[in-house]
Amino acid sequence: MGPGSDWNSVDGEGSRSFWTSMEKTLIILKPDAVKNKHIGHIVTRIEEEGFKILGMKLLQLSKSDAQKFYEVHKERPFYDDLCNYMISGPVVVAALEAPAAVQKWRDLIGATDPKEAAANTIRALYAESKEANAVHGSDSAENAQNEVAFFFKDGELIG
């Protein structure tokens, strides 16, 4: 095993390997991205950046879906507006896989507020505002597991 040969391989349990672990993350193309016809641009970027798409679907979220998905933010002042925004039109949800996928996607999308997002990040390119900021990304491997399970049944992901 050496660089180039097995860089993307999944670390075995208890492995002393320093190779980056394969990981899943849950992403959402939010209503503004869908409405503004950015699905194609963003999916192209996903493919160019080397993520594997394990599952992808277009959905109209219900209010209770949005409330459950963003439950961690329920005490925040923006929670109600955020939930209403997330049901304002269809979204695309996808499970992606890559080495260190959670951080890789967060780096690619940029800061929550597109005004603060680095040049060429997805939010800098496509977001409308801090709320309508084009995309979601899980913020930890543990949350990613829960968020993938929120949208995809066992057996629905194609690995």
Question: Which position among 38, 41, 73, 136 bears the catalytic label?
Answer: 136
For every residue of 5-20, DSSP letters joined together read TSTTPPPPTT----SP
- To the query of whether residue 136 is one of the catalytic residues in this protein, the response is yes
Stretch that binds ligand UDP, among 18-26, 43-51, 132-140, 141-149 (CB under 6 A): 132-140
Separation CA 56–CA 73 (nearest Å): 25
Closest residue to Mg ion, judged by C-beta, is 139
C-alpha 97/C-alpha 95 separation (Å) is 7
Closer residue to ligand UDP (CB): 6 or 116: 116
| 131 is a contact residue toward ligand UDP (CB under 6 A) | yes
Q: What are the respective helix, strand and coil percentages of the chain, to the nearest 5?
A: 40, 20, 45
Least distance (Å) from ligand UDP to the CB of residue 127? 9
Using the rule CB under 6 A, is 78 a contact of ligand UDP? yes
Contact 99, 85 (CB under 8 A): no
The catalytic residues are: 136
Q: Which residues bind Mg ion (CB under 5 A)?
A: 139
